[in-house]
Structure 1
């Protein structure tokens, strides 16, 4: 494993997975590995893959990420992991057999325990699983701990479920499975300034196509101004965000436009993070400028109420 070669580590408790979104199920798995490492005086390590294996193995299938690698690393660090190993995932790497993968891994690191989900699969054609790990573990010097899928209200917590909820605009439901609000971050771009003419100047967020953007509509959100390192410059501010194609005007390119409440200033070229708290309404076409202005006024009122109810105002 190039990611570990030449590096000396104490004994490891390792958990392996993609961990896109670092949702409640991922957190339970990683937390278990961290607790086991602390009890045994070992280091808690997490191995993930970049890009997402599905994007390499099934390139014809669209895949939307819940988090970028920076946020994933931050969330994993919050849980208490000591080390994050990112294994580059290529078509060549995907052809590695399960036995070769684990054998090579144990040759470059002193792994004492491996923690995975019960449905974990790895290696060429996904032929490796928990049973395989338990069979090969004794000869390679590690034990195996598996965790059943986590459920919330009898529904399994899965990244695919969260993506579908977001695409349907159900951001508050998605948050229940994530364990936090879903957010997007990016640079503020120059727009057509229609919001300013309407009395609601918006920050137009540049979002790469690879990320899960909630379905079209208007949302109560919280917006954080970021510094050059991507860290929060101040506390999040209440905001209302529109996602869509602006059908009243031109049915143009899909955009994410955020109106930060009780604030004025220039955000062009700066980076912000927008957290999605609740969907307020669907996107729709209006009869004219005054109808839009009246609806935006109502959206702001409803947004404030939603944020107060969520304890985020």
Structure 2
């Protein structure tokens, strides 16, 4: 997949494309619906492209903390888009200067440089200075340069619109049954295993400490049931293990910094320096401040047994 990072107008392109435009943070089921609709429009010789923005406009312009982190930071967004058949990504660096781009400039001077055979956006799409322009104006301006626009209807689940904002809030609350339903996959954080204080090993629960490789929206403090996929040397998918995941500050041992630690069930080996993907399935309990390490160990053993029962692994040692 080709990734083109731009600050203003994109470079001219001769390859015919069907272009989807949007933030695509999360690449959730709603985004996937837009991509499927675009795929149905694609003819022989045409490729599927996405024009997206980073950072989120509400963070870039208003420093709204709710939008500082991402459901899918750029690297993860690329992975998900490629998995869904996207061949080219135009990632626009969203700045205060770029926010001044008028709808006419965006269509007549930017989109016109690309050999676009069709544009697909979601219902409610806004663009241009002040985000005051809608799909009707996009359709009219694009018609002037011979590009048809398709509006993909909003996708809902249980009568609720799928939105990245809602997904972010649910991640912070640890509501992963909801998050994973809206994403169409388990929410995951990628990164490398780094050395910690080895306390887990001393307690009989050796953990892999994850250093995320992007600005992920991080789960609220708690203990989670999940899985860990260990990458191979060439960063391809490797072995996958169920895991207990602690996310938070470890108050029992006076922890100061937020950490994601994964205890891989039935695994033994050295993971330091390896890349891995930590996926969250459901929250098991809140993070607690235990009176002693013995009480912490007792609870960790209970967590382990509960996890094995939930996963159908309790018939193993």
TM over 0.5: yes
- State the distance in 1 between where 2:266 and 2:228 align: 12
- In the alignment, does 2:69 pair up with 1:72? no
- Residue from 302, 307, 310 that aligns with 1:303: 307
Report how far residue 75 of structure 1 moved.
Answer: 1.3
- Choose which of 211, 215, 218 in structure 2 pairs with 1:210: 215
Runs (5+) with no aligned partner, structure 1:
none
**Per-residue CA shift, 1:33-81, capped at 9, x if unaligned?**
111113x753221111122222211224342201121221121122222
Find the partner of 1:277 among 268, 281, 294.
Answer: 281
- In structure 2, the residue matched to 1:193 is 198
Report how far residue 239 of structure 1 moved.
Answer: 0.9
Retained in 2: the 8 A contact 1:172–1:277? Answer: yes
* Partners of 1:20 and 1:65 within 8 A in 2: yes
What secondary structure, in the 3-state scheme, does the structure 2 residue paired with 1:214 have? coil
1:114 counterpart (112, 116, 119): 119
Correspondence 1:133 to 2:138: yes
The counterpart of 1:21, out of the listed 26, 34, 38, is 26
Q: Give, in angstroms, the shift of residue 306 of structure 1.
A: 2.9
1:155-211 superposed Cα distances (whole Å, 9 cap, x missing partner): 110001111111111112100000000001112222121111110011111236832
- 8 Å CA contact 1:278–1:306 kept in 2: the answer is no
Give the 3 Å change call, closer, same or farther, for CA 148–44 of structure 1 in structure 2.
Answer: same
TM-score by length of 2: 0.90
Q: Distance in 2 between matches of 1:46 and 1:34?
A: 12
SS at match of 1:100: helix
Aligned equivalent of 1:250: 254
Name the structure 2 match of 1:103.
Answer: 108
Measure the CA separation in 1 of the matches of 2:262 and 2:91.
Answer: 33
SS in 1 for 2:97: helix
> SS of 2:119's equivalent?
strand
Q: Alignment partner of 2:212: what SS?
A: coil
Offset of residue 83 of structure 1: 2.0
Take 1:43 and 1:248, find their aligned partners in 2: how far apart are those partners?
A: 54
Given candidates 161, 164, 167, the residue that maps to 1:162 is 167
| CA distance in 2: counterparts of 1:235 and 1:35, whole angstroms | 35
Q: What is residue 89 of structure 2 aligned with on the other side? A: 84
Name 2:188's counterpart in structure 1.
183
C-alpha change, 1:19 and 1:139, in structure 2 (3 Å) is same
**Distance in 1 separating the partners of 2:271 and 2:9:** 38
1:5 to 6, 11, 28: 11
Task: Check conservation: 1:31, 1:80, Cα contact below 8 A.
Answer: no
Counterpart for residue 48 of structure 2:
44
| More moved, 132-141 vs 95-104 | 132-141
TM-score with structure 1 setting the length:
0.91
Number of aligned pairs?
A: 306
1:259 paired residue among 254, 260, 263:
263
- Name the SS for the 2:262 alignment partner: strand
Q: Superposition RMSD on alpha carbons, in Å?
A: 2.0
Once residues 91 and 258 of structure 2 are traced to their aligned partners in structure 1, the CA distance between those partners, rounded to angstroms, is 32
